[in-house]
Structure 1
Amino acid sequence: MRVLLCPDKFAGTLPAPEVAAAVADGWRSVAQGDDLLIRPLADGGPGFVQVLAEALGGRRVPVPTVDPLGRPVAGEILLTTDGTAYLESAQACGLHLLSATERDPKTTTSYGLGLLVTAAVESGARTVVIGLGGSGTNDAGAGMLAALGVTPLDAGGAALPYGGAALAAVDAVDGVPRLRGVRLVAATDVDNPLLGLHGASNVFGPQKGADRADVLLLDAALERFAEVLQRDLTGCPAGLGTLPGGGAAGGIGAALLALGGGCESGIGLVTRATRLDAALDTADLVITGEGSFDHQSLRGKVVAGVAGAARDRGVPCVVVAGQVSTGRREAASAGVTDAYSLVEHFGGEEGGGLDAALSRPAEGLRELGARLARQWSR
């Protein structure tokens, strides 16, 4: 039997390559004769650079940067032979870099991402692809722009403090982005705009620590910032606040669009790099997964892309996840044949399955891999 293993990461516990390896180990313990194809995936969020490095090769260059609160953190860029640099916003802006008590999108900044982009530009890359996802910021990329030489100013001409809330007082932006003519690409599968009910603040702000009052404040601040960018930044497109993808990563998508960049599907980019279509064409079974299989999974995430492609080929697709909250009918309509949860797998243990799923994910995935082999292998 030919089995394709192509999961996303389990956020906060395991990167995608380790998820795939654990399931594969379990499967092989039961069905050694089966042919396992391992293609870890990412959609632009955490793990984007690692997955592309394994698929494309190239050179991974360490880059010191800062986290959403300005603390030193290690980042990296991937340089490939075709003159493209790949990086991910989560390395500098990731929600996982903040403790629960530190999550406040009014004050967190994307400045560290600007340092990564600068390193990519100075490396001589002609195209810079930025994976967007998993961010703990909501500043519409203002911090990133500041690091690139475009400074938001108040009415008195002073530079604004970092964070989304401060943008309520923005009166102008000053400076020219130091990009040396590179082409910018935002890799994201979020089509939310920057502003409004479906925008960055309303949809993603609460996940980053914003209450209802914060959401209203941030949406108004980002609206003001979008108006200023359209007026002061040469080349910024009209209607910035309503463009699809502008709301990605707390509005970093909008900042990249303002700089003349474009948007591309993150999962589509990774799919091409990993030659996933060719692997799907020969598979008898597809196993994918992520940390939480929920309603958002079916909106442009890895699982949705994989399941849809498997369905189109008439190949069964199984999801393994830390938690499963998607209904069977909804999942089936997306191409998912069945879904397995680590929380349910560990459910009989004292203290409940959630603690075990978070503390022993690799163990649980190996056991689920063996279970799947018993159920599916010929």
Structure 2
Amino acid sequence: MRVLVAPDAFAGTLSAPEAARAIAEGWSRQSPGDELTAVPMADGGPGFVDVLHAALGGDLQVVTVRGPVGAPVPVTVLLRDGTAWIESAQACGHPLLDRPDPWHASTVGVGEAIAAAVDAGARRVVIGLGGSATNDGGAGLLGALGATADVPLDAGPNGLRDVTSVDLAPARERLEGVELVAAIDVDAPLLGMFGATKTFGPQKGLQEDEILVVDRLLDAFVDATCGTTPAERRIADSPGAGAAGGLGFALLLLGATTQPGVDLVADAVGLAETCAAHDLVVSGEGTFDHTSRSGKVVHGVAARAAGAARPCIVLAGQVTVGTREMRAMGVESAYGAADLAGVEASLADPYGSLARLAERVARTWSPPARTME
């Protein structure tokens, strides 16, 4: 039996390559005769650059930028044939903070990384959006590229209080002749009930009573950057404008196009063709829930497995979706390590827990061959 293992990173515990190794190791303990192929995946979030570098090659350049609260952090830029790939989480991701700081965390480092890529000769820059600890509407990015305003742009949403005007001309001039692509992992708009703050703000540390306040600050930021009429503000409603706490919105202001990050990575690694060459596709992520829909790795992998008429199953830390929603995503079955060992035990040993889960799942999906009597 040929098994393709194509997981995302398990946020905060395992990188995508580590998750793939754990699944393959556990599966092989149960079914040593199976042929396993590991293709680690990403959707624009953590691991985006590593996965693309493994698939495409190219040169890696490390630049130092300001992190979400100002401390210097390293960001790896992948350069190949005039294109640069950047992972925004390296500049403003959750692991860079000792504790959540959604009011002050800034995307300034992402803008500085883009500037470094352009200075290195890139005429096309692809920015992976996902895993951010920020919710500043991309104000920091714009400021790092030269935009000016009547308030500080590098102080998170708290700095946007009383904003009335933003001049984007210097940033647009800085990027003249450069194609920007936002590799998004969600298609949320910037504002409102399904926007960045309401949907992802709690994950970044915003309390329920703070969500509306921050959304109003971003609403005023839209007025200051776009104008006040519905037609002028339409860009804030674009799918992906709410990606990475509004980084998508800032990039759209600078003329970027959007593309699902998982599609970009899938094309780079030849995922559709690889699915067709296997009998079973196994994907995975830390938590398989309602946010795993369009734009996420599991959804993208399942779609390509379906296109090749191959079953797709998911191994996750936790599974919180029902069978009907799972099947709507193209997933045959999903299994959680927490159900096998408990939440605390699975978090204490994520690699071992995932390997044990894979070993157990292999009993169902790759039973031992029967011998003829």
**By the TM > 0.5 criterion, same fold?**
yes
Q: Does 1:63 align with 2:63?
A: yes
Q: Report deviation, 1:29.
A: 2.6
Name the residue aligned to 1:358: 347
1:363 and 1:135 mapped to 2: Cα distance?
Answer: 27
Say yes or no: does 1:267 pair with 2:256: no
2:140 corresponds to which residue? 143
Counterparts of 1:154-193 in structure 2 under 5 Å? Answer: 154=151, 159=152, 162-174=155-167, 176-177=170-171, 178-193=174-189
Q: CA deviation at 1:207?
A: 1.5
1:298-317 to 2 correspondences below 5 Å? 298-317=293-312
* Mapped pair 1:210 → 2:206: yes
- Any conservation in 2 of the 1:168–1:220 contact (CA below 8 Å)? no
Percent identity over the alignment is 50
Count, aligned residues = 362
Could you tell me how far 1:161 is from its partner in structure 2?
A: 5.8
Partner residue, 1:125: 122
2:39 corresponds in structure 1 to 39
Q: Distance in 1 between matches of 2:184 and 2:350?
A: 27
Matches within 5 A, 1:74-113: 74-80=74-80, 82-99=81-98, 102-113=99-110
Mapped to 2, the partners of 1:5 and 1:358 lie a distance apart of: 21
User: Are the counterparts in 2 of residues 237 and 257 from structure 1 also a CA contact under 8 Å?
Assistant: no
Larger mean Cα displacement after TM superposition, 213-222 or 303-312: 303-312
Change (3 A) 1:213 1:371: closer
Partner deviation per Cα, 1:134-187 (whole Å, 9 max, x = no partner): 111111111111111112224xxxx45611122131122246012252111100
In 1: Cα distance, 2:216 partner to 2:42 partner: 32
Q: In the alignment, is the contact (CA less than 8 A) between 2:108 and 2:154 conserved in 1?
A: no
Distance 1:66 1:11 in 2: 23
Distance 1:368 1:104 in 2: 35
Is the contact between residue 165 and residue 217 of structure 1 (CA under 8 Å) also seen in structure 2? no
1:96 and 1:45 map into 2 onto residues whose CA distance is 12
1:69-95 deviation digits (Å, cap 9, x = unpaired): 111222111111x21100111111112
- The answer to whether the 8 Å contact 2:222/2:233 transfers is no
Amino acid at match of 1:354: V
Q: Is the 2:138–2:245 Cα contact (8 Å) retained in structure 1?
A: yes
1:153 touches 1:173 (CA, 8 Å); kept in 2? yes
**Partner of 1:226 in structure 2?**
222
Counterpart-to-counterpart distance in 2, 1:160 and 1:40 = 36
Task: Tell me, yes or no, if the aligned pair for 2:8 and 2:41 is still in contact at 8 Å.
Answer: yes
- Structure-2 residue corresponding to 1:115: 112
Q: Letter of the aligned partner of 1:103 in structure 2?
A: P
Is the contact between residue 223 and residue 241 of structure 1 (CA under 8 Å) also seen in structure 2?
no
Whether the 8 Å contact between 1:84 and 1:129 is mirrored in structure 2 is yes
Which ranges in structure 1 are unaligned for 5 or more consecutive residues?
A: 347-352
Deviations 1:266-317, CA, capped at 9 Å, x for gaps = 1100100010000111211110000001111123311112123323433221
- C-alpha separation in 2, matches of 1:138 and 1:366: 35
> Which residue type is aligned with residue 358 of structure 2?
G
Q: Contact 2:64 / 2:75 at 8 angstroms: preserved in 1? A: yes
Query: In structure 2, how many angstroms separate the alpha carbons of the residues matched to 1:160 and 1:186?
Result: 20
Can you give the 5+ residue segments of structure 2 that lack an aligned partner in the other structure?
none
Query: Residue 320 of structure 1 is aligned with which of 315, 319, 322?
Result: 315
Q: Does 1:27 align with 2:27?
A: yes
Shift of 1:33: 2.9
Q: Is the alpha carbon distance of 1:28 and 1:139 closer, same or farther for their aligned partners in structure 2, counting shifts above 3 Å?
A: same
Post-superposition shift, 1:17? 0.7
